[in-house]
């Protein structure tokens, strides 16, 4: 979201700069030019407003384009329609009043002031969201009961270091990622065509708990986590007794199914669930978490699409540490 807000702010900044320049040299001097320029402002404003509203809602539609931060179809098409409609309205308004030099100057001044205000506010918001703190909404039950569906929370985005744009690197870290931290991250895939857990996860934001650090050896035996040969105490984990029914559990598909080296390779390259056509959540590993990556699992262990299925999460995909639930009021509190 912060990336798209940045581009909205940049577009508004360019519009404000051109408006200010053209106001000084009188370039917008005909009804047609006035209509086109005023229509562009209306269209850009409507597109941006609808896009921000759409981004605030949970979307699972296919993406437009191949980039990880590309638009969801559910965001793009309504925004484009709003931009076209209001752009046409702005063109008509500017064209019909464009015979008057006074009116042309008024529209140009008004559009310039609004676009400059939006530019400042949106750029500031995008910088804060990218480097400092961002709000997220919990879309599923994979982290019950740490989080419930619909919980709103703030994520601390600087605790593990400031992200250097377009590099995946971080600088000035306050602390390192620790086992047990609850993190928000972008799904660890650069291929928009791959299916994981039965659907395309590419580009989505996930929230899970760190259960293993680089170099840790991880295994799940009959649903119980084992890290470095020990069974850690996990007070936050929610297990479904029904899922432990042996009659419900199909044949185990762990490292013995492929051989240890091949199993590790497929898991580390995010291809394990595709190779096995579904990984058994109760029988997993053993695998070793590679350097520069972490293993994530949901607290609602039996109903979580996590690292057992699609592999480790590399540092470049991390967004920040879940910090505070701020809505609903009954669930306000620091995330643990």
Give catalytic residues, as residue numbers.
142, 208
**Residue 104 buriedness (CB in 10 A; 0-12 / 13-18 / 19+):** buried
Pairing of strands 133-137, 313-314: unpaired
Tell me the three-class secondary structure of 229-251, residue by residue.
Answer: CECCCCCCCECCHHHHCCCCCCC
> What is the spatial distance between Cα 43 and Cα 46, in angstroms, rounded to a whole number?
5
> What is the spatial distance between Cα 234 and Cα 225, in angstroms, rounded to a whole number?
9
Q: Please report, for residues 100, 134, 147, 209, the alpha-carbon distance to residue 111 in angstroms, rounded to integers and kept in the order given.
A: 17, 29, 43, 47
Sign of the CA dihedral 200, 204, 210, 213?
positive
Contact predicate 49/4, CB 8 Å: no
Q: Is 300 left (phi over 0), alpha (psi -120 to 50) or beta?
A: beta
- SS3 of 182, please? strand
Give the residues across from 12 on adjacent strands: none
């Amino acid at each position: 979201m912060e990336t798209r807000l940045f581009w909205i702010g940049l577009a508004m900044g360019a519009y404000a700069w051109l408006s200010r320049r053209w106001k000084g040299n009188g370039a917008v001097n005909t009804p047609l030019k006035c209509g086109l320029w005023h229509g562009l402002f209306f269209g850009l404003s409507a597109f941006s407003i609808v896009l921000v509203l759409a981004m605030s809602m949970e979307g699972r539609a296919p993406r437009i384009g191949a980039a990880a931060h590309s638009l969801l179809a559910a965001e793009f098409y309504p925004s484009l329609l709003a931009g076209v409609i209001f752009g046409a309205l702005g063109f008509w308004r500017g064209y019909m009043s464009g015979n008057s030099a006074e009116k042309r100057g008024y529209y140009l001044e008004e559009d310039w002031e609004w676009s400059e205000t939006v530019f400042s506010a949106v750029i500031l918001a995008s910088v804060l969201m990218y480097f400092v703190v961002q709000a997220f909404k919990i879309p599923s039950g994979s982290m019950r009961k740490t989080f419930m569906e619909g919980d709103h929370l703030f994520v601390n985005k600087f605790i593990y270091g400031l992200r250097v744009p377009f590099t995946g690197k971080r600088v000035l870290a306050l602390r390192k990622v620790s086992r047990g931290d609850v993190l928000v991250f972008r799904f660890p895939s650069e291929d928009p065509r791959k299916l994981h857990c039965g659907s395309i996860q590419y580009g989505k934001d996930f929230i899970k708990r760190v259960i293993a650090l680089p170099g840790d050896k991880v295994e799940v035996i009959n649903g119980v986590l084992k890290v470095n040969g020990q069974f850690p105490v996990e007070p936050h984990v929610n297990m479904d007794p029904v899922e432990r029914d042996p009659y419900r559990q199909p044949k185990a598909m762990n490292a013995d199914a492929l051989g240890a080296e091949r199993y590790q390779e497929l898991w580390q390259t995010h291809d394990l669930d595709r190779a096995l056509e579904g990984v058994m959540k109760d029988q997993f590993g053993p695998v070793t978490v590679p350097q520069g990556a972490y293993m994530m699992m949901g607290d609602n262990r039996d109903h979580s699409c996590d690292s057992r299925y699609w592999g480790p999460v590399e540092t470049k995909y991390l967004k920040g540490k879940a910090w505070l639930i701020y809505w609903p009021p009954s669930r306000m509190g620091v995330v643990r």
